[in-house]
């Protein structure tokens, strides 16, 4: 049983003991759509399987199992849009309220701390007082310093102080929490542009990494958020939270295919260590594997 073994429950109901025909492919496409893979990506996967079956003259569905794993893995292996610099490394975390953004920052801090990195957190989501308080709690839990101002403060001012503190303390990684207000894209774009200007001024050689946090249990809504945030803010990678809370999980494939942004980490539990680097091969295998595989 792998890390993602509970997620593919819906897809493991797909029969691989039938004969390959048009009806089989129609049923397969329906199963993929029901598992949150989405219409466009499900159609793409089935077209690729049809092509391989025709080219290799496959007649049994069992012969398709390794093929579907390969096709899904290829879709998931998205190359990041740009090279991230490390001087220090600056990560901007974005995402709407309730997706687990602040929690993901805490878990990410724990991972980097365990790797011997010196981490600094910036509470630049000044829109909600609870966000600042929550980040400070995670800072205490992970023994990570947090730079914060009061609620309503200028987020760029918080980031400015964090960049200065990061330089003074020789931080390896600075993670900035930001407010995720998608209702007004212009505000979001303006705020992030201002933050980027502050980073560029304080750390001229640094290209910040933008990680979008989305909730896997929201299915196709997670795909919609990923599209909108990429358009508004530019996104280098995605953290998919609450993946343990859905038996579908196909939205991972849809995001990679339709948004073109790689899933970098997945959250699969409430614990401080329940954030894992995403592995496309492992995910594809668990998604279409049997319980004893």
Between CA 15 and CA 109, with CA 263 as vertex, the angle to 5 degrees is 130
User: How many other C-beta atoms are found inside a 10 Å radius of the C-beta of residue 92?
Assistant: 25
Buried b (16+ CB within 10 A) or exposed e, 115-146: eeebbbbbbbbbbeeebbebbeebbeebebeb
Q: How confident is the model at residue 293 (pLDDT cuts 50, 70, 90)?
A: very low
Between CA 202 and CA 209, with CA 203 as vertex, the angle to 5 degrees is 120
Lowest-confidence region among 13-17, 36-40, 90-94, 270-274 = 13-17
Cβ(111)–Cβ(275) below 8 Å: yes
Sheet containing 89-94: order of strands: 146-147, 119-124, 173-178, 89-94, 209-215, 237-241, 263-267, 275-277
Q: Rounded to an integer, what distance in angstroms lies between the CA atom of residue 22 and that of residue 98?
A: 42
With 0.75 as the threshold, say if the pTM is over it. yes
Does residue 95 sit in helix, strand or coil? coil
| pLDDT per residue as tens digits for the range 76-96 | 987 765 566 667 999 999 998
CA distances from 41 to 33, 35, 49, 62, 186 (A): 8, 11, 12, 22, 30
Q: What is the pLDDT of residue 179?
A: 83
> By C-alpha distance, which of 166, 180, 89 is closest to 126?
180
Does residue 67 sit in helix, strand or coil? helix
| Higher local confidence (pLDDT), 217 or 90 | 90
| Higher local confidence (pLDDT), 13 or 219 | 219
Q: Rounded to an integer, what distance in angstroms lies between the CA atom of residue 43 and that of residue 125?
A: 39
At residue 64, φ and ψ (nearest 5 deg) are -85, -15
Does residue 264 sit in helix, strand or coil? strand
| pLDDT per residue as tens digits for the range 228-242 | 888 888 888 999 998
């Amino acid at each position: 049983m792998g890390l993602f073994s509970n997620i593919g429950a819906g897809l493991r109901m797909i029969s691989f003991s039938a004969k390959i025909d048009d009806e089989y492919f129609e049923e397969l496409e329906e199963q993929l759509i029901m598992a949150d893979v989405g219409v466009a990506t499900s159609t793409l996967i089935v077209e690729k399987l049809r092509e391989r079956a025709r080219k290799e003259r496959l007649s049994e569905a069992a012969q398709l199992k390794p093929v579907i794993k390969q096709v899904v893995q290829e879709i998931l292996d998205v190359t990041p849009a740009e090279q991230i610099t490390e001087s220090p490394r600056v990560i901007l975390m974005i995402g709407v309220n309730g997706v687990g953004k602040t929690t993901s920052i805490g878990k990410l801090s724990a991972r980097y701390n365990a790797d011997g990195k010196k981490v600094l957190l910036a509470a630049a989501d000044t829109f909600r007082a609870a966000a600042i308080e929550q980040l400070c709690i995670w800072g205490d839990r992970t023994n990570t310093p947090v730079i914060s101002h009061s609620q309503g403060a200028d987020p760029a001012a918080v980031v400015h102080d964090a960049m200065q503190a990061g330089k003074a303390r020789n931080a390896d990684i600075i993670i900035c929490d930001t407010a995720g207000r998608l209702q007004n894209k212009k505000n979001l774009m303006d705020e992030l542009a201002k933050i980027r200007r502050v980073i560029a001024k304080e750390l001229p050689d640094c290209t910040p990494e933008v990680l979008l946090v989305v909730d896997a249990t929201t299915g196709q809504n997670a795909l919609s958020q990923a599209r909108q945030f990429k358009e508004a803010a530019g996104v280098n990678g995605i953290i998919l939270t609450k993946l343990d809370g859905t038996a579908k999980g196909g939205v991972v494939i849809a995001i990679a295919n339709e948004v073109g942004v790689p899933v970098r980490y997945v959250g699969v539990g409430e614990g401080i260590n329940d954030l894992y680097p995403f592995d496309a091969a492992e995910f594809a295998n668990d998604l279409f594997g049997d319980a004893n595989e």
